[in-house]
Amino acid sequence: MSSSLTTRIHPQAIVEPGAEIGVGVEIGPYCIISATAQIGDRCQILGGSQILGHTTLGPENEIHGGAILGGTPQDRTYHGEDTRVVIGARNKIRENVTIHRATTKEERVTRIGDDNLIMGGTHIAHDCKLGNQITIGNNSLLAGHVLVEDGVTISGGTGIHHWCSIGRLAMIGALCRVAMDVPPFLVCEGRPGRVRGLNLVGLRRNGVDGAGLEAVRDAYKILFHTSETREAALLKLEASDPMTPEVQHLVRYLRRSDQGYRGRYLEGVYRGKVKPDADGDQEPQVF
């Protein structure tokens, strides 16, 4: 990123009147910036990128060639309503990524947090909500209304069904088909995706070690490597004293998914079959 505070717009870029451009922004050739876009300070918009509609970028984002942010949603119920894409700070959005603005079914916002790496060819559909420090591999596909919590790794070629939730620090293997919620801290692989293990590397990298790591390891064994029913295992974990924050989050996620529509909590809320959490069911959980 350039350290200069001078904004540089290539003469072959199209920046429509009304667009809000911060300081130190670089806009390359053949870019298109819509009149309703907001570009934060020190963003770098490389050649051929398009920032469309009501799209807001925070500071220090890198948008690489051919990326299109803020395109209209691929949803038959959308009829031109005023919806948005809101992207935080310091994200790296690589070549040919598409991120669509929201429909009117939720909060009218497709939202992406901070410090994410979204690799080339990825599609993030309408109404998705992504947290922070997420890595998404090349050519992954996130359908509408997907929720991805902080620290998740999604390997290349993954397809995620609409309304799925991906829990904090989960890891999804390459070419996985995800049709149900993925619990936090676990590894999901296969077609269809199945829990294959505990994301020990991700946990350690994020400061979960010692007694906290052992508690998650024990919870995983109780849930997935004993003959107990899911309900009995959850009750056993809920009775543990103390229950660490990580285990509490894991248990909560599994409870939510079990109540949801075909293992998708958010779809259960949308269909009116599940009561939303009191602390809000639509936002990435930050711990």
1-5, 62-66, 87-91, 103-107: least confidently modelled range: 1-5
The CATH fold assigned to 8-145 is: UDP N-Acetylglucosamine Acyltransferase; domain 1 (2.160.10)
Q: Would you say residue 28 has pLDDT above 60?
A: yes
Domains 8-145 and 202-261 share a fold: no
Report the CATH architecture of 202-261.
Answer: Up-down Bundle (1.20)
Name residue 230's amino acid.
R
Q: Are 160 and 176 in contact (CB under 8 A)?
A: no
Q: What residues have CB less than 8 Å from 138, skipping those under 6 apart?
A: 119, 120, 121, 122, 156, 157
Q: What mean pLDDT do residues 267-278 have?
A: 86
pLDDT at 287: 32
At residue 280, does pLDDT exceed 70? no
- Please say if the pLDDT value at position 285 is more than 50: no
Q: What does the pLDDT average to over 79-101?
A: 98
- Read off the pTM: 0.94
pLDDT in tens, 57-81: 999 999 999 999 999 999 999 999 9
Dmax (CA) for the chain in angstroms is 67
Amino acid letter for position 130: L
5-19, 148-162, 261-275: least confident range = 261-275
Catalytic positions are 126-127, 144
Per-domain residue ranges of the chain: 8-145, 202-261
Cα 35 from chain centre: 27
Cα→Cα distances 108→78, 80, 101, 267, Å: 11, 12, 8, 17
Tens-digit pLDDT profile for residues 163-208: 999 999 999 999 999 999 999 999 999 999 999 999 999 999 999 9
